Structure 1
């Protein structure tokens, strides 16, 4: 194995800079994938310390997991999307219902009663 004047391996091995790059990339990927779970953990912990319902925060309602609280799902399928429509909705902040059908899971309400605290008497 020979090194050039910059200390780089010349026979196809990884340099320390490349290994550091892979390490940082792996760390960033892990942080991105685990962020929703960590957020849910911290939220539940804060709600518990305040004496609130861990699931809904004493709202007594939770958003539908299928339509994410909108009451509508895209009619074209879960894996198809239109980039321009999605960008317009992101910029405008409105949800278009032209290519959508009502959610069958929540019957277009977008929410359910919280199963953890909806049976408890209201104060």
Structure 2
């Protein structure tokens, strides 16, 4: 029996939080090795689109709209699997990343290493663009 997308999302037992006036949850994407590529918010609609297409869709709070990862850059994220956290307010996706994940041209958005004694950051890794 195939369920429709809305039923699948309902069965995931998620708790969307009120963030900037929108019902959102945190989405973390990692590559197959477990390296964190990025975090972003998801709305129910972006989650439905992700399930429907097999590619990551997020909700941009700065642009106030749904967006498909890679819609401008071509650096898409194909979903391999997904895990729900114990509270149901965050999802962890394993993805197959095409190109780089960070809009600044790095594989991961987490390329700024912070020195806790000074608070200053140093870029680690190389730009891929």
TM-score by length of 2: 0.23
Higher RCO by CA contacts (8 Å cutoff, separation 6 or greater): 1
Greater helix share, structure number = 1
Greater strand share, structure number = 2
Q: Which has the larger radius of gyration?
A: 1
TM-score by length of 1: 0.23
